[in-house]
Amino acid sequence: MKFEQVVPVSFQLFRRIFVAAGLLSAGVVCAQSGRPVIYTAEFGGLYSLNNRAPFWMRSNQFGILPDSGNTFFFRHSLYTKEDTSARRWKLSAGLEMVTMVGEETRLMLPEAFISVRRGKVQLLAGRKKQIHGFTDTTLSSGSITWSGNALPLPEIQISLPDYITFFNGFFGIKGHYAHAWFGDQPYAKKYFLHQKSLYARLGSGRIRLHGGIMHHVQWGGEPKFQVPEEGWLTINDRYATGWGVYRDVVFPFHNPPADSAHVASFDFENRYGNHLGQIDIGGELNTANARWLFYKQLPFETGQTFSSLGNLDDGVYGISVASKQPEGWLRRVVVEFVHTTNQGMYRSGLLRLLGFKGRHYGRNQNFYFSHAQYPDGWSYRQKSLGSPFLVPNPDIRDEKSIYASNYFANNNNIKAGYLGLITRLSAVEMETRISFSKNYGTGENILHETADQLSFVHKMTLPIPQRGGFIQLNVGIDHGDLIKDNYGIMLSWKKIWE
């Protein structure tokens, strides 16, 4: 191995060990000051027929499971317990470290964070597993733009994590504001994420209505690929940055000025950076036996589909039912339908029902999750930040790929059905996920033959009272035309010390 290759790896390893040591020290300090901690350890292995972990075995795992199907792993974590005292300032910290050995060998820190909370306001720094959007965070196939599919980005975030209520609890709001770092990705480097959300809730009884909006922007940084010509995508081989750009990133109400000497033509034709997000609406019904959730997530891109709402068909439609019966065998059911074939290309079903004809006004937006300046698209460490159904190019069969540099150039035009179940049989807890998707390619690269895909995973957790801990067994199957047929099995032992 060349010396130039050793230095970055050593530096990254040193940095991760340094961060881990700092957070571990924070956990020890919390423990010594009377704050209890939770330590978890898990050791296991994964085997698959084609040396690739099955789809639902690796999806929505925050990037902590190996992609390779022939790998051993060791995960351990340390978290402070929730502070329920009357202190004004509440400190919490968390650290998770994953070591993989085998076909895939690496050291990861999926979580490494410190947070401080006073009242309803929380300040967070580091990596933390989070799912944003109104959805079933336990069993959903994934929020349309921010699921638990990729490794968390390092960020600084200020938030209202719980609803602040008014009018005797009838009205509540929550939200967050964050700045994060994408760092060095395959096609771009040194770029950032701006993210914010605002959600509202109406009702304080059995029926509650929810709604909100979430906004993400990739911005700044430098390309790692050869740009076509100076002045189109970049100025002086860099994307626009600075406080003035950041202001327009946060408040994207107008296009940048058409000054070719200082602004790339791509920017003033669109916006600074890659803007996307989602609008959520839903309801909650609490009965004596169950808690019901109904939700619809609508994605938007670059202000175009947002301004015209021409893509109302698209998004995630979901129903979740969580049982309140302590002895029942069926604990939770989630049914979802994911649709992204509109993308502003035609009038939505609702508008057609109201008598509107033809396509919507504005430009076509047939490139969900893709972007010319950031060919990595809406991904981090080569995994989709949004719904895992929008499979990036490296995971797709060769015959279904067009070998484009853009990660989502092959498959962002889909229809998918999903069923998730959590059940219990005696002491054994089980989780089942099954999906069937029809994949059409993209708006500009429609597949000649639709790629149908069936994916399944079943997980069983068996407690071991004599030895302590749990035995976990996962079995996953993939069959179809989009990704290679596969069968995989994962076996692990896990124990929690409190």
Cβ neighbours of residue 168 closer than 8 Å, sequence gap 6 or more: 204
Is residue 71 within 8 Å of 102, Cβ to Cβ? Answer: yes
CB-CB contact of 54 with 476 (8 Å): yes
| Model confidence pLDDT, tens digit, residues 155-180 | 999 999 999 999 999 999 999 999 99
CB atoms within 10 A of CB 419: 16
Higher pLDDT, 4 or 419: 419
d(C-alpha 66, C-alpha 63), whole Å: 8
23 neighbors 31 (Cβ within 8 angstroms):
no
pLDDT at position 352 is 62
Mean local confidence (pLDDT), 286-301 = 94
Q: Is the pLDDT of residue 29 over 80?
A: no
Give residue 27's pLDDT: 53
Lowest mean pLDDT among 275-279, 351-355, 378-382, 455-459: 351-355
Structure-token match 């049989």, residue found: 425
In degrees, rounded to 5, the angle at the alpha carbon of residue 187 between the alpha carbons of residues 183 and 189 is 25
Whether 28 has a pLDDT exceeding 80, the answer reads no
Contact 195, 215 (CB under 8 A): yes
Considering only 115-124, 222-231, 300-309, which range has the smallest mean pLDDT? 300-309
CA nearest to 128, candidates 172, 74, 176: 176
What does the block give as tokens for 398? 């060769």
| Section 126-153 average pLDDT | 94
Instruction: Dump the DSSP string for 382-405.
Output: TEESS-TTS--GGGS-GGG----S
What's the mean pLDDT in 457-472?
Answer: 90
Average of per-residue pLDDT across 231-256: 89
Phi, psi of 89 (to 5 degrees): -105, 125
Domain spanning 3-497: CATH superfamily: Capsule assembly protein Wzi (2.40.160.130)
Identify which of 150-164, 216-230, 235-249 has the greatest average pLDDT.
150-164
Give the Cβ contact number of residue 106 at 10 Å. 13
Instruction: Kindly state the average pLDDT of the residues 257-265.
Output: 79
pLDDT at 6 over 50: no
Q: Tell me what the pLDDT averaged over the chain comes to.
A: 86
Q: For residue 136, give both structure tokens.
A: 């079933």
pLDDT 10s digits, 330-353: 999 999 999 998 877 666 666 666
Indicate the pLDDT class of residue 1, thresholds 50, 70 and 90: very low
What pLDDT, on a 0 to 100 scale, did the predictor assign at position 14?
Answer: 45
Counting other chains too, the contacts that 379-384 makes at CB distance below 8 Å and 24 or more residues apart are 379/150, 379/185, 379/407, 379/408, 380/150, 380/151, 380/153, 380/182, 380/185, 381/63, 381/150, 381/151, 381/185, 382/186, 382/407, 383/63, 383/149, 383/150, 383/151, 384/147, 384/149, 384/150, 384/408
Q: Report whether 160 contacts 191 (CB < 8 A).
A: no
C-alpha distance from residue 67 to each of 48, 52, 63, 210, 349 (Å): 10, 6, 9, 36, 38
Q: Are the C-beta atoms of residues 41 and 495 closer than 8 Å to each other? A: yes
The ranges assigned to domains in the chain are 3-497
Q: What is the distance between the alpha carbons of residues 11 and 416, in angstroms, rounded to a whole number? A: 42
pLDDT value, residue 86: 79
How confident is the model at residue 498, as a pLDDT?
83
Residues constituting the chain: 498
Cα–Cα nearest to 57, from 481, 475, 336? 475
Backbone angles phi, psi at 260, to 5 degrees: -65, -20
CA-based nearest residue to 411, from 435, 388, 433, 434: 388
Q: Please give the residue that has the higher pLDDT: either 84 or 419.
A: 419
Calculate mean pLDDT across residues 63-71.
83
d(CA 144, CA 280): 10
Average pLDDT on 239-244 reads 92
Judged by average pLDDT, the poorest of 18-27, 330-339, 370-379, 424-433 is: 18-27
The radius of gyration of the chain's CA atoms, rounded to the nearest angstrom, is: 23
pLDDT band at 359 (very low <50, low <70, confident <90, very high): low
pLDDT of residue 84: 78
Helices (H) then strands (E): counts for the chain: 6, 21
Q: Which two tokens stand for residue 299?
A: 């994605």
pLDDT digits (tens, 9 = 90+) for 411-448: 888 999 999 999 999 889 999 999 999 998 886 666 76
As a whole number, mean pLDDT of residues 79-103 equals 89
Among residues 477, 461, 469, 466, the alpha carbon closest in space to that of 495 is found at 469
Average pLDDT over residues 227-232: 82
- Between CA 446 and CA 134 the distance in angstroms is 31
First to last CA, the chain: 43
Longest dimension (CA), the chain: 72
Q: How far apart are CA 178 and CA 157, in angstroms?
A: 4
Positions of E strands within 103-239? 106-118, 121-127, 155-166, 171-184, 188-202, 207-219, 222-223
pLDDT at 19 over 60: no
**Predicted TM-score of the model (pTM):** 0.88
Is the model's pLDDT at 52 over the cut of 90? no
- pLDDT for the residue 5: 33
Q: What is the DSSP string of 445-462?
A: SEEEEEEEEEEEEEEEEE
Report the pLDDT averaged over residues 16-23. Answer: 51
Range of lowest pLDDT (4-13, 63-72, 179-188, 368-377): 4-13
